[in-house]
Amino acid sequence: MKVLSIGGGGYAWEAKEKVENGMAVIIREVNKCYDLQHFLKQESSIAVKLEQLKISECSHLINLVPSSSSFQNLTTLVVSYCKGLKNVLTSSTTKTLVRLREMKISGCNMITEIVADDDDAAKDEIIVFNEMKKLTLSYLKSLTSFCSGSCAFRFPSLEILVVDDCHNMKIFSRGELSTPVLLRVQLKTWDKEQSAWKDDLNTTIQQSQSSN
Q: What is the pLDDT of residues 4-44, one digit of tens each?
A: 777 765 443 333 334 444 444 444 555 446 566 666 655 55
Q: Is the pTM higher than 0.75?
A: yes
| Domain boundaries, position 61 | 2-210
Q: What is the pLDDT of residues 148-165, one digit of tens each?
A: 988 999 999 999 999 999
Q: How many residues would you count in the chain? A: 212
Report which secondary-structure segment, H or E, holds 91. helix 91-94
Distance of CA 155 to the CA centre of its chain: 14
Question: Domain tally for the chain?
Answer: 1
